[in-house]
Amino acid sequence: MADYTQTLPLLPLTSGVVLPGMVFTMALESDEARAAADAAGFAGGRLVLVPHIDGRYARVGLISEILDSGALPGGSPAVIVRGVERSAIGTAVPGTGAALWVQVEPLQEGELSPAVHDLTREYRAVLENILLSRGARRIVEQLREVSEPSAVADVAGYSPDLSLAQKVEVLETVDVEARLRLVLGWARETLADIALRERIKTDVEEGMEKTQREFLLRRQLESIRKELGELGDDVEGGSPQDYRDRAAARELPESVRVAVEREVAKLERTSEQSPEHGWIRTWLDTVLELPWGVESPDRLDVAEAGRMLDEDHDGLRDVKDRILEHLAVRKLQGERGLALVGGRGAGAILALVGPPGVGKTSLGESVARALGRSFVRVALGGVRDEAEIRGHRRTYVGAQPGRLVRALRDAGTMNPVVLLDEVDKLGADFRGDPSSALLEVLDPAQNHTFKDHYLEVELDLSKVLFVATANVVDTIPTALLDRMEVIRVDGYSEDEKVSIARHHLVGRQLAQAALRAGEVEVDDAALRTIVADYTREAGVRSLERELGRMLRKVATRVASGDAVPPVVIGSESVRTWLGRPRFFSDAADRTSVPGVATGLAVTGAGGDVLFVEATAMEGPEGLTVTGQLGEVMKESAEIALSYVRSHASALGIDAGAFAGRRFHVHVPAGAVPKDGPSAGVTMVTALVSLLRGAPVRSTLAMTGEVTLRGKVLPIGGVRQKVLAAHRAGLVEVVLPKRNGPDLEDVDEAVRAEMTFHLADDVDEVLAAALDLPADTAAPGLVAA
């Protein structure tokens, strides 16, 4: 090649790269291109081609020769150009015409190293593999005619796998060995990519062939088994036609039928090997297992239903009356042909609130039996996941419907009695709030179109009779509580417990102890002794445990031959079987000294008796309260002391009794948290008793909130508190005057045994509570 500088017209290339040895046709579309071709003199002339890509010119150009010129089919002028050799681009110089003339200097490739021939052979082999994989066998034969290493490397200019920037890099690499290494590396990457695609394609084709083969074999197997009459439910039961037949045989709502048809059509298009096939079948099975259109006929005999409720449970009059009212309305609607309001079901939503052991859960089953409906219990205690109520969405693996849908499936009817047990113990965490999900379920205006996340079809829950149970209402969200009809189940009196034990518990425990009915006789006096001396609860669970323990001891004696049936258990022999009594009436002992008053409270376990103790000591003036009291109860103690100090003269207390003395109010059972305002009158009475030196009546208990002006305000839980006082052997109770009507909720037998003092202010409380001689009674107080 020449080693002197030449001057040639420059033609920029914006859409391609030309390498030495390449021949191509170039359309002269721009004025610049036509000017460069004119300056080169067309056929036989020379010009330099320089790539102009991404806003820059290449460092190396290509001296090219115009082989021929002419016009394209569209009439545009064109030239055929062949690349000759690489050249360095110098400065522009003046020239003829409109073309840009530049100085160029051909670049020498240098001597070939020993490694060049090995690289050439390897690159040619890689190229042949690439071309053969694409079916370009004729190009492979043409490639074998190229032997010069530099020309072999420049074949990369024809590759469709290289970008323009990569081809510019090939043009700018003058050294042959470096150029071969560069294009060889890119060729290897291309070959690896082709091999990977081929492998993926082969795997997919093999998988499809296997799936198709298995599908055909299964269809053939199904046909053979049909011909042999051996086809079982495992094959036919999951076919799309079987689902269509099952759906046609059911009274499905129109929206549900459309959803089922849609899923069946999807099942037909889905391969049995696809995971979605199993998900669709599970959904279809779940939907078709629900009792669409199936309802239990209500037993509309009100008298018979009442008899059955009384047979199962003693007491609980409010709940029984509400169920009988529901039945009576249903009966009249049927007799008079009256449609239900809004066309919705005649369900109801009841909430039984009361202490443990009073029969709330068993009452739900008794209600179902009385109505002639199916019964399902849904335990909600400790449930924290909202999906337990509304179901999981089908996008999750292992998704299933919520508990309510499963309850309907288990019940087999659309109008069962569903017991929502322990609704006050629902939790909430990052997975959602189940109590919020229950808002729709327990709303009569919404639950006729309830949608489970898994089913995604409307479900009518308006015909369901929901019975929720709870120990307290404080932990139930207000919005949820507002949707339920709350019925208080406050507990049983002593007579009711004896009746329950006689009619229900003794017989059940005899059977569990493997004793016959005539082998043990327990009289009412013995039952009353067990209730009074061995249990102290609102319900009857402890009573049943004590009866079971006693009858197991009897069974032991009978089995060992130490006792001969019938074994008679009277009041005197209870201690022989159960040991010493566990509960005593200690109100007389505890209130025998001034400064102690008996109060009443309501806990999650029912009503209870509490004592308030007050004492005074020398020290800085003030008040100390102990007994794990809540803020409200602490404030009640402050109010009590402030009232007593401000009314000391009227209460017959020396004004100097407060100077230099510190008062301490304590409520025993310090391990039990206590709160609420209803101990206000008890604290005032304890302080007055202390300062007057007059003990509080040992047979009297009290409850009520007190104000700074001495007014006694009404409180809640009257029935539970009165029953607690009755269980403790107390015969007098002081209540706020405005709670007088609440005494109608107390059993008449209990009211007959007790005396009630209705107080409007503190003076009336103290007059009933303190034993004050007439000559020492304070002004404003009437001696009892």
Positions marked active-site: 678, 721
Residues 43, 35 contacting (CB under 8 angstroms): no
SS3 611: strand
| Distance, CA of 689 to CA of 363 (rounded, Å) | 46
Q: Which two tokens stand for residue 674?
A: 């206590």
Q: How far apart are the first and last CA of the chain?
A: 138
| Distance, CA of 596 to CA of 664 (rounded, Å) | 12
- Tell me whether strands 465-470 and 348-353 are parallel, antiparallel or unpaired: parallel
CA angle 525, 528, 532 (to 5 degrees): 140
The amino acid at residue 102 is: V
Residues 690, 594 contacting (CB under 8 angstroms): yes
Cα 169 from chain centroid (whole Å):
61
Nearest to 351 by CA among 433, 420, 450, 448: 420
| Distance, CA of 759 to CA of 736 (rounded, Å) | 5
Q: Which two tokens stand for residue 35?
A: 């000017």
Residues 25, 6 contacting (CB under 8 angstroms): no
Q: Which two tokens stand for residue 532?
A: 């009074």
| Distance, CA of 149 to CA of 262 (rounded, Å) | 66
> How many Cα atoms within 13 Å fall on the side-chain side of residue 600?
29
CB neighbours of residue 144 within 10 Å: 10
Nearest to 510 by CA among 550, 560, 562, 563: 550
Residues 371, 324 contacting (CB under 8 angstroms): no
Residue found under tokens 């159960």: 578
C-alpha dihedral (746, 749, 754, 756), degrees to nearest 10: 40
| Distance, CA of 471 to CA of 489 (rounded, Å) | 9
| Distance, CA of 678 to CA of 706 (rounded, Å) | 8
441: Cβ contacts below 8 Å, ≥ 6 apart: 389, 404, 447, 450, 461, 466
Residue found under tokens 């003092």: 757
Residue found under tokens 């323009």: 164
Q: Which two tokens stand for residue 377?
A: 């219990």
Length of the chain: 784
Q: Which segments of 334-484 are extended strands (E)?
A: 348-353, 375-379, 417-421, 450-451, 458-459, 465-470
As to burial, measured by CB atoms within 10 angstroms (0-12 exposed, 13-18 middle, 19+ buried), residue 668 is: middle
Tell me the DSSP string of 218-273. HHHHHHHHHHHT---HHHHTTSHHHHHHHHHTS---HHHHHHHHHHHHHHHHS-TT
The helix/strand count (H/E) of the chain reads as: 28, 25
SS3 69: strand
DSSP type of residue 778: P
